[in-house]
Amino acid sequence: MASTLFINGKIWAGKADAPIESALAIEGSKILAIGDAALALTCDSTVDLAGAFISPPFADGHAHPLFGGRQSFGPQITGLESVEEILAEIKRFADANKDLEWIIGGTYDPAIHSDGNFDAALLDSVVPNRPVVLNAMDYHTIWVNTEAMKRSGVDTFTGELEVGTIVRREDGSAMGTLREWDAVNLVMDAAPAPSMAREIKALEYSSKRYAADGVTWWLDAWVDRGMAESYLAAEEAGVLLQGVNLAFRADPRTWEEDLPYFLERRKEIESSPKNKSLTAKTVKFFADGVIEGGTAALLEPYTNDPCSHGMPVWEWPEMTRAVLAMDKAGFQVHIHAIGDAGIRASLDAIEAAIKTNPMWDRRPTIVHVQLLDAVDLPRFTELGIIANFGPLWTRQDPMQAVSSAPRIGPERTDRQYLLRSLLDNKTRVAFGSDWPVTSEVPLEGIAVPVHRQTPDRKPAGGWMPHEAITIQEAFQAYTHEVAYQAFEDGSWGTLAPGFNADFIILNSSPFECDPHDVPALQVMKTYRNGEAIYSR
């Protein structure tokens, strides 16, 4: 097996307090040595890093890459700042794709329109006779045209939904904005399913994009029926460059009948001889929605709507029953919880599983952890729960300032994303991008919890600066801690002898620059199992 020695670098092994070494030696798919021990070896070839930085690769602990890939085939509206710009892009796309029956795309920022309620008539003005469905960036809301509502039977007479809202005009007609499952599914169930060839292409797209970002592993945190089949086909077709773990979504109404299906898919994935990198170890729960949509479950009512505590996705005792069943079946539990009531219910459910089921290395994860009540903070460590955050969210962007703050008021606004407090309390903090909700590029988000500012450096001194973390802690959360979440911390996420030769080369050290300049760093190479899956 050929061996390679990397010299003259700044090499960081993956823990916040790890010293910077100058050399790394690999042989085949494994790491041989780091630091002086590497320099003492004679290798087949030597690479002069000329001051470049090496760290363990990024791993995305919470994302939706199949959605991201699918979205790449639709109209490109992410980041557009006005309704006019969106309509122009929808028209361009519709004209360029005249044979496409349904136009499905994303994601628009609800904050570009004060209350986030968009009218179907706007979309009708550019595409009147084909259905158009646009996902909002929270992926809990869609904006559709009249034809999409017609095809899916949504109208003035559609009744109340259990989990979901159809926004209505003053005359009672459906406006064109729909929130949460029951509403979103009314429309999506009427849309044609994508072909397998297209699904494989979507995953190939996401995989290449992630390789260029320095990512060698991701968790797909929303796998519904049909999606695991797409992943397995993509893996067998050889288009996945990363390790991938799937989290099946537990639905409040169908989870019991879905469980045997999850078990079957897990078995099929584990026993496929062509599969090298795909696992299905996890089950995903949505405890609640999102603050900016008024659907996150809160202990105290919404400031702008004193009658509402949000919209829990589950009756809490039922969520506990489902968490117990999934945990007993050997699935890692991964719960989306944003409001303080949603987080508390998630902690309660996991605690019940720990107390009731036999002991095992379960590594439960609560993701987003946006508004956490002080009483519940120590429970993460006590129960061994990983807190997974989207680092890009820890700033006062328009989503926070325009869409969330008026809903929860100033006191609760300044109690969000308690990363410092959790780390000081010895909680394991891992990162995930939530792509395509927000950018999947780790370098774009990783330094935000360090400065907690917008790109124009607001507010001065950072938002809740006492909750800021160090850049080394941020790197640990996006590398080593995700390896732990993935049950892979014995294989990658650390640069040490015997570990997989998984690492990235950045053009210079993120630890020696202004944190605001970290997004400008470049991923030069991404290595997985000793092979470059990306070279700039």
| Binding to Zn ion in span 434-463, by CB under 5 A | 434
Query: Binders of Zn ion: how many residues, by CB under 5 A?
Result: 1
Q: Provide the residue type at 291 as one letter.
A: I
- Minimal CA–CA distance to 219: which of 283, 267, 263? 283
Residues of this chain, 148-207, that bind Zn ion according to CB under 5 A: none
- In the window 33-92, what residues touch Zn ion (CB under 5 A)? none
- Do residues 432 and 367 touch, judged by C-beta distance below 8 A? yes
Please state the separation of Cα 139 from the chain's center in Å. 11
CB 367 to Zn ion: min, Å: 7
CB of 180 vs Zn ion, minimal distance in Å: 14
For Zn ion, the nearest residue by Cβ is 434
Closer CB to Zn ion, 436 or 493, in the complex: 436
Show the site string, 417-436: x = touches Zn ion by CB under 5 A, - = not. -----------------x--
| Shortest distance in whole angstroms from residue 347 CB to Zn ion | 19
Closest to Zn ion by CB, 348 or 434 = 434
* Shortest distance (Å) from residue 327 CB to Zn ion: 21
Nearer to Zn ion, 119 or 434 (CB): 434
Q: Report residue 73: phi and psi, to 5°.
A: -90, -10
We find the least distance from the C-beta atom of residue 390 to Zn ion, in angstroms, to be: 8
Q: What are the φ/ψ torsions at residue 171 (nearest 5 degrees)?
A: -85, 5
CB of residue 415 vs Zn ion: minimum separation in angstroms? 22
Peptide bond into 107 cis (omega under 30): yes
Tokens of 143: 């904006």
Which residue's CB is nearer to Zn ion, number 152 or number 365? 365
Q: Tell me the DSSP string of 218-256.
A: EEEEEE-TTHHHHHHHHHHTT---SEEEEEEEPPTTTHH
Between 56 and 339, CB nearer to Zn ion: 339
- Contact 348/337 with Cβ under 8 angstroms? no
Count of CB atoms situated within 10 Å of the CB of 516: 15
**ω before 436 within 30° of 0 (cis)?**
yes
Nearer to Zn ion, 60 or 502 (CB): 60
Give start and end residues of each alpha helix (H) in 244-339. Answer: 255-271, 316-328
Q: How far is the CB of 260 from Zn ion (least distance, A)?
A: 25
The distance of closest approach from Cβ of residue 218 to Zn ion in the complex, given in angstroms and rounded to an integer, is 12
In three-state secondary structure terms, 42 is: coil
With 0-12 / 13-18 / 19 or more C-beta atoms within 10 angstroms meaning exposed / middle / buried, residue 157 is exposed
Instruction: Please say which residue, 251 or 434, places its beta carbon nearer to Zn ion.
Output: 434
Per-residue x/- track, 263-302, Zn ion (CB under 5 A): ----------------------------------------
With respect to Zn ion, which residue has the nearer C-beta, 221 or 533?
A: 221
Q: How far apart are CA 223 and CA 229, in angstroms?
A: 10
CA–CA distance, 363 with 335 (Å, rounded to integer): 12
Task: Give the residue among 409, 468, 466, 397 at the shortest CA–CA distance from 438.
Answer: 397
Give the span between the Cα atoms of 531 and 533, in whole angstroms: 6
Q: Considering only CA atoms, which of 28, 18, 7, 63 is closest in space to residue 494?
A: 18
Least distance to Zn ion, CB of residue 86, Å: 22
- Of 216 and 388, which CB lies nearer to Zn ion in the complex structure? 388
**Measured from the CB of residue 437, what is the shortest distance to Zn ion in angstroms?**
6
The bridge status of strand 165-168 relative to strand 53-55 is unpaired
When the beta carbons of 140 and 420 are compared against Zn ion, the nearer one is: 140
What residues make contact with Zn ion under the rule CB under 5 A?
Answer: 434
